[in-house]
Amino acid sequence: MTSVPTDPNRPSTPPVVVAVDGTSGSGKSSTCRAVADRLGLRYLDTGAMYRAVTWWMLDNDVDVHDAGAVAARAGAPDLVSGTDPLQPTIAVDGVDVSVEIRSDAVNAAVSPVSAVPAVRERLVALQRDLIGTGGIVVEGRDIGSVVWPQAEVKVYLTADPAARAARRAAENGGADLTATQESLLARDAIDSSRATAPLTRVDGAVHIDSTHRTLDEVVGLVVDLVDAVRSSSGAS
């Protein structure tokens, strides 16, 4: 999918909350950042928050497969999420770890850490504080179901496994397609079956399959949903 230019002539929306959930590699980050930029909204990548906690656990020698040990330290890292869609950041204890949280080690450990209820409870509270009065596009796996079920716009974004693997492999510098697809499917299985806040399509969420759509087309569909909400609310 190609990049989407900002429309400088488009007015800002009312303080709407756009909740975008979906599978790994379906284009959530690119879509959400472009939608937020085009509409003049803030942007929050909740997955980066879970990755940041995971990075902290690994950096502090916490056994990520010991749920009790992870829960005991869940409140320790200080997290600050930047909400600029053009330059999103995530800092842990004052250090920007935007690059570090994309490492193979974090990729392999983020699912078990994310499944710990104490971690989710803390991060959901932080996410709700950041959403505040709205005016934000939020991506994750439980935004429409748990974090902000009252979101005015809810999207469930998917793509077929082969397309997702190709995109993720390209992002990772040409990684092995088969291994990448297996990793994505394993992550889906864990996220969909966990007891706390599983990945699911909630009632009212619009399903968008990005497999055969360009980034611009997907962004356009989401922007149209926001415009429809604005029209129905009487916003000019």
132 CB-contact burial (10 Å; exposed 0-12 / middle 13-18 / buried 19+) = exposed
CA dist 85 and 76 (Å) reads: 27
**Do the beta carbons of residue 78 and residue 93 sit within 8 Å?**
yes
Residue 43 phi, psi dihedral angles, 5° rounding = -140, 135
**pLDDT tens column, 123-138:** 999 999 999 999 999 9
What is the model's pLDDT at position 174?
A: 66
Q: For residue 166, what are the contacts with CB-CB under 8 A and spacing of at least 6?
A: 177
| Domain layout of the chain by residue ranges | 17-230
Q: For residue 108, what are the contacts with CB-CB under 8 A and spacing of at least 6?
A: none
CA dist 101 and 59 (Å) reads: 11
CA dist 182 and 232 (Å) reads: 42
What is the model's pLDDT at position 234?
A: 62
Query: Sign of the CA dihedral 75, 76, 82, 85?
Result: negative
CA dist 136 and 35 (Å) reads: 10
- The candidate with the shortest Cα–Cα distance to 1, out of 180, 176, 211, 183, is 211
Note the pTM of the prediction, 2 decimals.
Answer: 0.86
Please, what are the averages of pLDDT over each run of 10 residues along the chain (236 residues)?
46 77 89 97 97 98 98 98 96 97 93 94 97 96 95 95 80 74 77 74 92 95 95 66
Output the CA angle 43-3-221, nearest 5 degrees. 65
What is the model's pLDDT at position 14?
A: 57
Q: Is 6 helix (H, G, I), strand (E, B) or coil?
A: coil
Class of domain 17-230: alpha beta
